[in-house]
Structure 1
Amino acid sequence: MATQQLDNLLEQIRRCEICKDHLPLGPRPVIQAASSAGMMIVGQAPGTRVHETGIPWNDPSGDRLRSWLDLDRTTFYDPKQIAIMPMGLCYPGKGKSGDLPPRQECAPQWHPLVWPLLPNIGMTLLVGQYAQQWYLKDKPKTLTETVRAWRQWAPKYIPMPHPSPRNIRWLKDNPWFEEEVVPFIREYVHQHLKGTRG
């Protein structure tokens, strides 16, 4: 029953056009989910490559994210194991310094409907400030402070920096993330997800 409900909801989401007038490339909602999924990844919004392919995290940022998780593409893209639901489901367009923020219509419209149909999620990765602002109450002001306080919400929520190549400097300045947080996430992955690593 829940599986059919989720399938119906995903079909509805993929037809969504609530903010089509604001999308330079038109609507193409990107989401991945199944009722058996054990991990959720909440990111920002698709980039142009993801928009073109319809495959979430299908870019260099996704390569680094999969490296952090120690997962191959087959397992990462298995909706029965990993759900992926960005804050904005469609590519929002270009801004002065990168992509625009996720459209504000998406999360309030769809996130509350999806969550009740995913009863097996044990860990949710909150990738970037927009996901963290939405899901974490009383969080510190900056992304660095929020990620540093990750134990406060673990294992339910894990705040993370975006794995974008633009964040190489942040990762170099904050080596504790890959020394402390990434191993904790991998331990969950190894215990709860099946499939080939690496």
Structure 2
Amino acid sequence: MVAPDLNPLLGEIRACRVCAPAMPHQPRPVIQACAGARILIVGQAPGTRVHASGRPFTDPSGDRLRDWMGVDETVFYDSSRIAIAPMGFCFPGLDAKGGDLPPRKECAPLWQDRVRAALPEIRLTLLVGQYAQRFHLRSQMQKTLTETVRESERYQPDFLPLPHPSWRNNAWLKKNPWFEERILPLLRRRIQDLLSPA
């Protein structure tokens, strides 16, 4: 099966205004992709800093995610190696407590399957947070994010579920030391294997 051409799809995504009537600001879809990428990161949705920069993970969450993966910014932002397609391409706004709202529900059904079909070389998809895990793992997801991440090996080689790298999850990371001890080494090995020249 021939993969669809990625460039027209990226143009459609960047021009998308489907959720504009419900947004508190102008939509600014953020995606990073190249047909040759071998790693796909599916996160939640851009935050305020990413909305301003137009570049994914330009915030402390991105710093932590890069540390988890064992890569620097040069590698992370090399779209020929790593694609980034969040569940919601636009910053959804803030809730009453000042946290980010969930990704808009319109976005993933419109784009996720089409993006994945246009990336034929993907060998590993990092599912960052419960929204990505619920969409991509469907009935294979465990009852909680913690259980799903703990069972990461069962989703290999295609998927690796991760908690969100936000500072809001510091308590979760402290409560679950097995993540750093067991899952991060697995993540880094897979990333290094996939980034190494064939």
Q: Aligned AA for 1:108? A: P
Aligned length: 194
Q: Aligned AA for 2:80? A: K
Alpha-carbon contact 1:75-1:194 (below 8 Å) kept: no
Query: What TM-score, normalized by structure 2, do the two folds share?
Result: 0.94
Q: Note the C-alpha offset of 1:167.
A: 0.7
SS for the counterpart of 2:5 is helix
Q: Partner residue of 1:104? A: 105
* Structure 1 Cα separation of the partners of residues 111 and 4 of structure 2: 17
Q: Aligned AA for 2:183? A: V
* Structure 2 Cα separation of the partners of residues 174 and 10 of structure 1: 38
- Unaligned 5+ segments in structure 2 are none
* Structure 2 Cα separation of the partners of residues 155 and 181 of structure 1: 14
* Structure 1 Cα separation of the partners of residues 194 and 120 of structure 2: 14
Corresponding residue to 2:147 among 127, 145, 153 = 145
Q: Aligned AA for 2:63? A: D
Q: Aligned AA for 1:192? A: L
* Structure 2 Cα separation of the partners of residues 4 and 113 of structure 1: 8
Q: Note the C-alpha offset of 1:3.
A: 8.6
Alpha-carbon contact 1:88-1:107 (below 8 Å) kept: yes
| Structure 1 ranges of 4+ moved more than 6 A | none
Question: What is the root-mean-square deviation in Å for CA atoms of aligned residues?
Answer: 1.5
Q: Partner residue of 1:177? A: 179
State percent identity of aligned pairs.
Answer: 54
Alpha-carbon contact 2:60-2:166 (below 8 Å) kept: yes
Q: Partner residue of 2:11? A: 11
SS for the counterpart of 2:125 is strand
* Structure 2 Cα separation of the partners of residues 120 and 29 of structure 1: 23
SS for the counterpart of 2:126 is strand
Which string of whole-angstrom CA distances, capped at 9 and with x for unpartnered residues, describes residues 55-98 of structure 1? 10000000000000111101100110000000000000111341
Which string of whole-angstrom CA distances, capped at 9 and with x for unpartnered residues, describes residues 133-175 of structure 1? 1011322221111111111112211111000011111111101
* Structure 2 Cα separation of the partners of residues 32 and 53 of structure 1: 13
Q: Partner residue of 1:25? A: 25
* Structure 1 Cα separation of the partners of residues 50 and 64 of structure 2: 15
Distance change in 2, residues 1:91/1:71 (3 Å): same
Q: Aligned AA for 1:167? A: N
Query: What TM-score, normalized by structure 1, do the two folds share?
Result: 0.94
Of 123-132 and 134-143, deviating more is: 134-143
* Structure 2 Cα separation of the partners of residues 179 and 163 of structure 1: 16
Q: Note the C-alpha offset of 1:101.
A: 0.6
